[in-house]
Amino acid sequence: MKALLSRSPGGPETLELADVPEPTPGPGQIRIAVKAVGVNYPDVLIIEDKYQFKPERPFAPGAEISGVVDAVGEGVTGFAPGQRAIAMSGWGGMVGKICVDADRCAPMPDTMPFDEASAFLMTYGTSHHALVHRAELKPGETLLVLGAAGGVGLAAVEIGKAMGARVVAAASSDEKLAVAKAHGADVLVNYGQAPTDRASSKALAEKFKAALGESGADAIYDPVGGAYCEPALRSIAWKGRYLVVGFPSGIPNPPLNLTLLKGCDIRGVFWGAFTRKEPEAYQAELDELFKWHAEGKLKPEISARFPLEKAGEAIALLASRGATGKVVVEVD
């Protein structure tokens, strides 16, 4: 079978398409014939050895897959050959077949196509955990979403609306904001390029405040980081909740006096750890997300599709921040 392999640290151009043997599922594992792989920012980092996990090489990137179960290991219940499944593999997904621990997999709803399924769990799971468990978002509250046209950003827009919030979407271009609007955003903010000095940072803070209204943002969803953090934090409401989701623009250093002045919280969002440490809450999350998808409240935006042999281009597109929504690799 074919696999896209990382043999040495580097960018997407270092990935190689190779023939590898089919794996055999061990105890507690299922083997999935992969149909589609969602591309996520950790794929950019893991092949450069910049992610928190560093798998032994050679390995394939790809943490989020959908496909059909074709074999099960000893002791597996709940899955059988021929069943459609979604899996969070961590890495290794850009292959013809993969073995994954059954407890990292979920039965795939009949209403969900393979491409949407591969673009669903990580982004919607992250955003659901962020808004439900970390922000404790309530109906009628105001949510500010940075990077609102990206995968997790669009998921946050849709989930915020499903929870009854007023959603203010912020992104770097009018084209990206149009996508956020189509997914339910109430108010749009074009923040352009990242601020480079105190004057431009304060100007962006004022732009956020004008869009949010006098009370500010009850919750801020930040998957961007960098210089966008401080102006967003300046626009937070009294006792607001600032959600730290990711850092493609760099790890920020916000002035902590703002947390005192605003009486606000900065809360970390680590969905992967949540799924392992709180399995019952995770299952309830899956049930709600699948229900909302079936009701049409959630619809993954897939902006580009690539075949396996061009999956390096898919990762490069995501790294360039040129994509809206999700990028998917389709495996034949």
SS3 assignment, position 59: strand
Same-domain pairing of 305 and 172: no
Check whether residue 131 and residue 190 sit in a common domain.
Answer: yes
**In whole angstroms, how far apart are CA 183 and each of 156, 163, 277, 305, 320?**
10, 14, 31, 20, 23
Residue 91's Cβ-side half-sphere holds a number of Cα atoms within 13 Å equal to 22
pLDDT surpasses 90 at 232: yes
Give the pLDDT confidence score for residue 233 in this predicted structure.
97
Q: How many C-beta atoms surround the C-beta of residue 267 within 10 A?
A: 16
Residue 285 lies in a domain: no
Shared-domain flag, residues 47 and 153? no
- Please tell me whether residues 40 and 182 are part of one structural domain: no
Estimate to the nearest angstrom the gap between the alpha carbon of 44 and the chain centroid. Answer: 13
The reply to whether 200 and 250 lie within a common domain is: yes
pLDDT for 321 equals: 76
* CA 82/CA 139 separation, integer angstroms: 41
Query: Residue 88: what pLDDT?
Result: 92
In-domain check, residue 31: yes
Residue from 285, 254, 243 nearest 153 by CA: 243
Contact 228, 249 (CB under 8 A): yes
Helix ranges restricted to H, 228-304: 229-233, 257-262, 271-277, 279-294
Q: Is residue 142 part of a domain?
A: yes
Type of residue numbered 47? I
| Cα–Cα nearest to 39, from 101, 119, 114 | 119
Q: Residue 62 has which token pair?
A: 């790809």
Residue 317 has pLDDT above 80, yes or no: yes
> Alpha-carbon distance 228 to 235, whole Å?
11
CATH of residue 163's domain is 3.40.50.720
Instruction: Encode pLDDT of 125-172 as tens digits.
Output: 999 999 999 999 999 999 999 999 988 999 999 999 999 999 999 999
126 lies in the same domain as 261:
yes
In a domain, 282, yes or no: no
Size of the chain in residues: 332
Residue 239 lies in a domain: yes
**3-state DSSP call for residue 208?**
helix
Q: Side chain identity at 186, as an amino acid letter? A: D
Structurally, the chain folds into a number of domains equal to 2
> Is residue 325, in this structure, part of any structural domain at all?
yes
pLDDT digits (tens, 9 = 90+) for 268-314: 999 989 999 999 999 999 999 999 999 999 999 999 999 999 999 99
- Give dist(CA 260, CA 256) in Å, integer: 7
pLDDT at residue 324 above 90? Answer: no
| Cβ-contact 144, 156 below 8 angstroms | no
Across the range 2-25, mean pLDDT stands at 96
Residue 107: CATH number of its domain:
3.90.180.10
Residues 61 and 12: their CA atoms lie apart, in Å, by 10
118 near 36, Cβ under 8 Å? Answer: yes
Instruction: Decide if 295 is inside a domain.
Output: no
For the cut 90, the answer to whether the pLDDT of residue 315 exceeds it is yes
Instruction: Measure the N-to-C terminal CA separation of the chain; round to a whole number of Å.
Output: 11
Local confidence band at 330 (pLDDT 50, 70, 90 cut-offs): very high
pLDDT for 111 equals: 87
Q: What is the pLDDT averaged over residues 70-86?
A: 95
Which range of residues forms the domain containing residue 321? 2-120+300-330
pLDDT given at position 325: 85
